Structure formats: C-alpha cells, structure tokens
A and B are shown apart, each in its own frame.
Chain A
Amino acid sequence: MRVLLLTAAFMLSWQAWTGAVQDSKQPKQISLAERAKALEADVQKKLESISKRLQEVKDETERDKLQDEATSLQKGMAKDLLKLARDHAADPEAFTVLKKLTAMGGFPEGQKEAAQLMLANHIAKAGIGEEAPLLANVDPELALRFARAVSERNPNKADQAIALFTIGALLKQQAIAEQSDAKRDRLVAEAGKALETAKTKAQDVKLGDNPLAVFIRSQLAGLKNVGQLIAGKPVPDITGEDLDGKSFKLSDYRGKVVLLDFWAHW
C-alpha cells in the first residue's frame, strides 16, 4: 500500500511539472532542458497508462507486476536523465535536470552521481544549498564535502546558510558516534561554530516549508549534551511539566534508580 501511494505521489508531482512546460514552443536547436522534458513526457504517458490499469486491477500479483513495471520505468528514466546531464555536465541547464534527479529519491547511486556533477560544475548556482541536507541521508561523507564546497564557494547567503546548517548537523552526528572524548569535543566545537554561523545567515531562509532557523535551533539545543548523554556520565537535569501541568525536575528523584522512558501511544 505504501509503495502504491508513493508511486501515485511521484506521478502527480511529476505531472504538474511536465504539464507546465508542454505548451512551450520547440526551438530549432533542441536545448538540454527540452530533451529532458521530451524524455520525461514519454515515460509519463507510460506511467499514466499503468496508473489507470492499477486502479482497475484486483489481483495482488497483477498489481505487484504493475508496480514493478512503474518502478523500473522510473529507474530507467532516471538513468537516461543522468546520462543526458553527464554528457552535458557544464551546460547551465544540466543543473535543473540534476536537481530533479536528486529530488526523485529511491535512486541513491544516481543521486550521488548527480551530486558529484553539481559539485564539479554548478557549485555557485542559486538553489544548490538545499541539495546538501537531501544528500545527508544518502551519503553523509559526500554530503559534508558538498556542503563545505557550497559554504566556501557559493556567493548566496541562503545557500551558505543551508550548507553551514548541514555541516553542523553532520558534525554533530559524528560527535554523537565518537568514542574518544577529545575527538568528540573537537567535533562538537566545530559543529557549534558552523551552526552559529548558519544562524547569522538564516534570516528569511526556508528549508522545505519551514524556516531554517527552526532546524538550526533544534540542532543547537542538544549540542551541550552530546558529551553528557553517555553511559558513565552524570545525567543532565530535566525541568518541565508533567501531564497534569505540574512542574518537576528529573533530579527530584536522585537517590532512586530511574528508568527514563521516552514514550508515546503509537
């Protein structure tokens, strides 16, 4: 079911995008963007027909088969787009094609190559910053390299801010996984510096639908605790309210063994 929904969502967003450009006139010299769009329009038609058949099909096996077909069409298209962008990597329009590829998801190898191509050819483009957090889940090491390059070589404040935020978040992740106290402290300090600098550039910058400042604040909030929330270390105190609205502290229970349970009904 989840796969089905994802496929549907993918088709919809894509329809909106290709639909908007189908009326534009074809120049004699076919541009990279138009070649990409023609390629996509072709796959879109096929996907629409699969989508129709999916609505009618009742048999599970048949449905799985159609799902597989849709997935392989999407993968094939991603590969073709990647080849197009690779063959014309320095063309300014390749940037748009590459961004589409990384937004597609479910194609990590392609996403990595697209990021490499952007890194090598389009590092100063406006809008490249948001690629860094997208990449962080796919390949943290590449994401860090990517974000550092953007923060150093891109002139736009928004791109720098998002890149610095990504650097901070990734270094904090490394710090949490680090065993050595000295190395951990160094990573925390570096992460703090990146996040504080990101904060100074984050005004009016959004990441997805939310202000970047919110994400930065959330990353900064726990930074001081990275070296504390480890077996063998004194527990940081918590002050807050219980579910009835009464204030209390974790340290109220010193003297007892505490099982602290982060829980919810789901």
Chain B
Amino acid sequence: MFPHERSLVKRLEGKPFVLIGVNGDGNDQDLKKKNEKEKITWRSFKNDRPEQGSITDEWNHEGWPTLFVIDHKGIIREKWLGSPGDKVLDEAIDKYVKLADKESP
C-alpha cells in the first residue's frame, strides 16, 4: 500500500487532493522511525482519542485498511474495506480531482 500512496501523493502535487490517514498503531514508540523509513509524509489522525473515544468506534470500522474517497464538497464517493487495487483507486481519485478542478478552478 505505502509505495503506491507515496507515488499518488507525488503525482497529484498541486492538485486539489490530499491523503489523510487514521493511524491505528496506538502508542508505538517506534512509530516515527517507521514512518521515516517508509517515507510516510501525509498527515494522520491518531485513532485513539483520550476523551472522545476512538475514531474507528465512531466510524463503525470493520477492518484495516479501510479507504474512503471524499469529494471536494465533502460527499463520500467510495468506500472500500481492503485495498481495491491501485488501478481502481487511481481511477476514482482522478475522476473526482478532475471534477474539483472543473468546479473550482
């Protein structure tokens, strides 16, 4: 998953697109090191929140990874439990990025 995400972020640089994570590693002391090693530069929420409870509980999470594509207006467009594969992912994202470009140039 990571290599494709890295190239996705790079390919869509300057476009109306952002990759946001919800990270489930908890209090892993080595998380920073691991992220550096995998060159994970995108921003992630910590899944565990001390006061609100976990994001996964709130989102009825069924398994890792789960992916959502949300369009520029904040409408959910795709939801996948498990990666749908690079091609399907790219096509969906490109479709909505193009739409975002067209509607807010």
B-binding residues in A (CB < 8 A) = 172, 176, 217-218, 221-222, 225-226, 229-236, 238-243, 248, 250-251, 253-266
Contact = CB atoms under 8 A, between A and B. Distances in A.
B88 to A, nearest CB: 12
Main secondary structure of the interface of B (DSSP, over half): mixed
B100 A256 contact: yes
A250 B24 contact: no
A230 B79 contact: yes
Contacts of B71: 257
A221 B47 CA distance: 14
A234 B75 contact: yes
Contact of A243 (B23, B56, B68, B100): B23
A103 to B, nearest CB: 25
A41 B76 CA distance: 57
A235 B25 contact: no
A262 B28 contact: no
Size bracket, chain B contacts = 35 or more
Nearest to A224: B58
A174 to B, nearest CB: 13
Interface in B40-57: 43-47, 49, 52-57
Given A240-B49, A242-B45, A242-B46, A259 B20 contact: yes
Contact of B67 (A172, A218, A261): A261
Contact of B45 (A218, A235, A240): A240
Contact of A257 (B66, B89, B96): B96
Given A231-B76, A257-B70, A258-B70, A225 B59 contact: yes
B38 to A, nearest CB: 8
B49 A256 contact: no
Given A250-B20, A257-B70, A229 B49 contact: no
30 contacts: A218-B53, A222-B59, A225-B58, A225-B59, A226-B60, A231-B76, A231-B77, A234-B74, A235-B76, A238-B55, A238-B58, A240-B55, A241-B46, A242-B45, A243-B32, A248-B43, A255-B100, A257-B72, A259-B8, A259-B67, A260-B68, A261-B22, A261-B65, A262-B47, A262-B59, A262-B61, A262-B64, A263-B22, A263-B65, A264-B24
